[in-house]
Amino acid sequence: MKYTKLGKSNLTVSRVCIGTMHFGPRTSEQEAFRIMDKALDMGINFFDTANVYGGEEKGRSETIIGNWFQQNPANRDRVVLATKVYGNMKDPSIPNEGPGISAYKVRKHVEASLQRLQTDHIDLYQVHHIDRRITPEEFWGTFDRLIDDGKVLYMGSSNYPGWGLAKFQMQALQRGSMGFVSEQTMFSLLCRYPELEVFPAALDFGIGIIPYMPLAGGLLSGKMKAQAGSRTSDVEREYGITLGESNQQMAAFSALCQEIGEKEHVVAIAWTLSRPAVASPIVGVRTEEHLDGLDRAAELELEPEVLAKLDAIFTPNSGRPLRVGQAPEAYAW
């Protein structure tokens, strides 16, 4: 397994991160334990969750991880643990329980996450979505206190636009704070919008990118057909893509992977790692078998001609003025 520093921090993380969103609703506790055990054996030390993960039982994902730590407490010091705050954990109609960030809400939510995770600190605490209303004094005052108290070590963002990273990072710097060290954003060969503004902002402010859905929910895993009711079938509808023999884009992708002797999911993840600012893509794992090939993806360096062919296959801009690349060059002369 290869490792890197997360953004401008001196925190070392594996080049692949295990996403635990499926722990609880789709993955049993015992299977989750096997996944985390094997991930550590593979050298993967970066685990991501969120307080809202768990399906109908919000918090279940954190609880499973906490139970795993309890089973073998030594594992806690081997893991860089990331979770998130923003969404509602109770009835959103209750005042201060709806989506958003406030000192009142974060105080309760961080304590609840620590209890479920059965740990005294969170290594990377991520704001799950941008809150456009909160003041910098309340936002950074709240999270700086958590860092000062030792309950949180580093702060990250998720689903922030480029302007949001710039705004909040400048506010942190003006306060003498470190600010965000990471941004978690949806990014894959089929979703390249972050290259326009998010990636350039991240590079400029020392923020490491943690792409989620690098396999586009399974569309880039080499599947010929999505099973009814599966996550991949849901993503087919979201992306307007249908797998099958008639999908020439996926056929060209599979042919290229076969040409270079690599599995589709390995190439898709390796491609995200080839992008500037990317630290560690998150792979949402449901079964132990889904870990296969992740170590290969972390070490694979795609040749320039392969990257060019992937650009040709997955350009999001066919027939439109938008081109691959960062703003404003992607849409201006």
The active-site residue, picked from 53, 86, 160, 212, is: 53
Find out whether the peptide bond into 328 is cis, omega within 30 degrees of 0: yes
Residue 71 burial (C-beta neighbours within 10 Å; 0-12, 13-18, 19+): exposed
The set of residues, in sequence order, having a beta carbon less than 8 Å from that of 202 and lying 6+ positions away, is 7, 165, 183, 208, 209, 277
SS3 126: strand
Contact 291, 279 (CB under 8 A): no
d(C-alpha 105, C-alpha 97), whole Å = 7
**Contact assessment for residue 180 and residue 202, using Cβ atoms and an 8 Å cutoff:** no
CA angle 198, 201, 207 (to 5 degrees): 95
One-letter identity of residue 139: F
What is the C-alpha separation between 193 and 185, in angstroms, rounded? Answer: 10
Distance CA 55, CA 161 (A): 26
- Known catalytic residue: 53? yes
Active site residues: 53
